[in-house]
Chains A and B, each alone.
Chain A
Amino acid sequence: GAGVSQSPRYKVAKRGQDVALRCDPISGHVSLFWYQQALGQGPEFLTYFQNEAQLDKSGLPSDRFFAERPEGSVSTLKIQRTQQEDSAVYLCASSLIGVSYNEQFFGPGTRLTVL
């Protein structure tokens, strides 16, 4: 596709449910990033992949958060036993080469609401 796509765009979960958020990066992009954006705030880094390797997961807030990119393309962010504080927009970004300062292209995000 022309840009980064994410699905679903909106997700409502009951507290305690597991959710899975999908990211399709721009074709050929080596690097993939997940960010969390609370209402009225700037995005915060969660994790980073270069191809299928997860090189940095320092931003994942708890062990309930898990991300994977098994074939170096599509990525899934999974949140287990969701809590209300997990409510946020989850943004995925990709960049062409595996160098940190290259431009990151963002998807539209998935808005997660935990009731």
Chain B
Amino acid sequence: EDQVTQSPEALRLQEGESSSLNCSYTVSGLRGLFWYRQDPGKGPEFLFTLYSAGEEKEKERLKATLTKKESFLHITAPKPEDSATYLCAVIKAAGNKLTFGGGTRVLVKP
């Protein structure tokens, strides 16, 4: 059975304190791994798609990396506006649905 586990569940950071979020996955034939950001009361907002081990993508203070078993979302020098829940999801080969992890709630304090 496909499984996606995110850790930690919650993360409190001081502004400027860099950190990493982990997404471990078990899926038969990964087609793609997605990172989304979700603010309270809103739908998930797309950040990145990673397709193969070794791939990296960056956007502002965020950098996503992928290995054969996990993905990391690095937040460099975060600002309060980076506070949100970050969701990881996978799609397997010949599949169409996203299987999400439980998310990591990030709070960046000024």
Per-position contact with A for B92-106: 1 when CB-CB < 8 Å, else 0? 001111111111000
Q: Is B31 an interface residue (CB 8 A)?
A: yes
Taking A91-B43, A101-B32, A104-B46 as contacts, is the C-beta distance between A48 and B100 under 8 angstroms? no
Contact present for B96 and A43 (CB under 8 Å): no
Per-position contact with A for B19-60: 1 when CB-CB < 8 Å, else 0? 000000000000110101000011111100101000000000
Taking A43-B44, A105-B46, A106-B44 as contacts, is the C-beta distance between A100 and B91 under 8 angstroms? yes
Q: Is B75 an interface residue (CB 8 A)?
A: no
Q: Is B64 an interface residue (CB 8 A)?
A: no
A26 to B33, CA, bound (A): 23
A100 to B49, CA, bound (A): 12
Interface size class of A (residues with CB under 8 A): 20 to 34
A22 to B75, CA, bound (A): 36
Q: Is B73 an interface residue (CB 8 A)?
A: no
Contact present for A104 and B98 (CB under 8 Å): yes
Q: Point out the residues of chain B lying under 8 angstroms from A106, CB to CB.
A: 36, 43-46
Interface of A with B (CB < 8 Å)?
A: 4, 31, 33, 35, 40-45, 48, 55-56, 59, 91, 93, 100-101, 103-109
- What would 11 A/B residue contacts be, using CB atoms closer than 8 Å? A35-B98, A42-B87, A43-B98, A55-B96, A59-B97, A100-B94, A101-B32, A101-B49, A104-B34, A106-B46, A109-B42
